[in-house]
Amino acid sequence: MTSDPNKRISLLPGLAAIVLATAYLIALLAAEKQNFIIGLLVAGIAAVLAAQWFGWLAPVTRSFNEREDALGVTAVIAAFAIAAYFHDNHFVLLLVITVVLYTVATLGLNIQFGYAGILNFAGASFFGIGAYTSAVLNAHTTVPHLLVLLIGGLLAALIGSLLLLPVLRTRGHYAALVTIAFAILLKTFLEVNDVLGGPQGLQVKGMKLFGWSFNDNFEIAGIDMSFYLSYFVLAMILLVASFVLVRRLERSWVGLNLDALRLDETAAQCFGLDLSRWKITSFTLGNFLIGIAGALFGMVGGFVAPNNYTFADSLILVSILLLGGIGNPWGLIVATIIVVVVPEKLQTIQEYRFFLYSALVIAVLLFRPEGLLPRPVRRYFPGWRP
């Protein structure tokens, strides 16, 4: 602990928020009865609105801004606590892993859209490229599976570079149209290509690491553990690494460059910015993260098919970005939880999930255009004072 009294005070609201959110999530994930789940969701919304009303959210925001490192570690512990609570529950753990890996993917989208302003409507395609990489490499080669994840990311980045020329030559909405065309193209390609399983898709062999098979259940001290727990640990490592990477990127001259080119290309050019270099950097890095997440997700699910990676799935990723707060990684985590968990738990609205997403996005754009957790002004080093 530091001796600076200001710092010690500012940590508490953030800690309290994480503890409350963790308890709430455990209750929500454990709940089975539909009426109880609906009640819980309504109570959650009411609690957040009340906290906002009483001004309790401002101190939380402040402590996240100033003490991010400590709170980040706490959030990781909280995630592990949730996983430990559901240690033998396949369904819930799969849901948690989905949240974690979708967050990694949206962190990638965030580099592209949140910072550089390149709207990528082919997020699910790059996710799918990663998953297909796992399927093919695990079936036909002996490439170590950690390396397969890396290759999945690299392949997504490489195939994404096919889009670079049109993306660099167009601005704004037109670049987005290029990515939509790509998403449709890729899905069609996968469907007609028999080598990649056609519309039926492919099986993906599970992850094996140093002789440890991720697809086997195991025991710790005589307690049964779901095999998903191994995947959860790996997914968390991936999330922490991507989170740190995206944070460092934002809090550097690179992040400044990306913001400058998003906000005013002409002014940025007049101060020496190489627009192409930074667009390529952000687009490639973003696709790389999405591809790695997809590669691991493929192994988790054990199955890939073109229908899992459609334009609609890309829209879900983009809606997470809009909902969470463009450019704010913490917001992405909150938004991914909402978008992934709520429809799974609320079976009554399962069939209306797209309706729910669209309604949510429209509501956010109308009433809170900067997202649930708007991005704060860049602080290069949290808590730094001149």
Partner 1 sequence: MSTLLQAKGLSRRFGGVLALDNLDLSINRNEIVGLIGPNGSGKTTFFNVVTGIYAPSAGQITFNGADLTGASPRAVYNAGISRTFQRSRLSLPLSIFDNIMIGNHKRLNQGLWFNLMRRKAFKAEFEENYRAATKLAEIFEPRLAKMMFQPVGALPMIDRRRIEICRALVSQPKLLLLDEPSAGMTHEETKALMDDIMQVRGLNRDLTIVIVEHEMGVIERITDRCVVLNFGRKIAEGPYREVAADREVQEAYLGVA
| DSSP code per residue over 12-73 | HHHHHHHHHHHHHHHHHHH---HHHHHHHHHHHHHHHHHHHHTT-HHHHHHHHHH-HHHHHH
Encode burial over 176-203: b for 16+ CB neighbours within 10 A, e otherwise.
bebbbebbeebbeebbeeeebbeeebbe
Q: What's the rounded Cα separation, in Å, for the pair 15 and 64?
A: 9
Place of tokens 């990676």: 309
Q: In terms of CB distance, is 236 or 256 closer to partner 1?
A: 256
What is the binding site for partner 1 (CB under 8 A)? Answer: 245, 248-249, 252-254, 256-257, 259-260, 263-264, 266-274, 281, 377-381, 386
Q: What's the rounded Cα separation, in Å, for the pair 337 and 313?
A: 16
Q: In terms of CB distance, is 27 or 254 closer to partner 1?
A: 254
User: Please, what is the minimum distance in Å from the beta carbon of residue 217 to partner 1?
Assistant: 38
Q: In terms of CB distance, is 44 or 383 closer to partner 1?
A: 383
User: Please, what is the minimum distance in Å from the beta carbon of residue 370 to partner 1?
Assistant: 9
User: Please, what is the minimum distance in Å from the beta carbon of residue 244 to partner 1?
Assistant: 9
What token pair was written down for 57?
A: 């959210």
User: Please, what is the minimum distance in Å from the beta carbon of residue 260 to partner 1?
Assistant: 5
Q: In terms of CB distance, is 188 or 252 closer to partner 1?
A: 252
Q: In terms of CB distance, is 76 or 256 closer to partner 1?
A: 256
Q: In terms of CB distance, is 53 or 271 closer to partner 1?
A: 271
User: Please, what is the minimum distance in Å from the beta carbon of residue 176 to partner 1?
Assistant: 21
Q: How far is CA 163 from CA 6, 158, 311, in A?
A: 49, 10, 16
Burial class (CB in 10 A: 0-12, 13-18, 19+), 307: middle
Q: What's the rounded Cα separation, in Å, for the pair 12 and 16?
A: 6
Angle 311-324/90-109 helices, nearest 10 degrees?
80
Q: In terms of CB distance, is 16 or 254 closer to partner 1?
A: 254
For β-strands 202-203 and 208-209, DSSP reports them as unpaired
User: Please, what is the minimum distance in Å from the beta carbon of residue 382 to partner 1?
Assistant: 11
User: Please, what is the minimum distance in Å from the beta carbon of residue 258 to partner 1?
Assistant: 11
- φ and ψ at 202, to 5 degrees? -135, 155
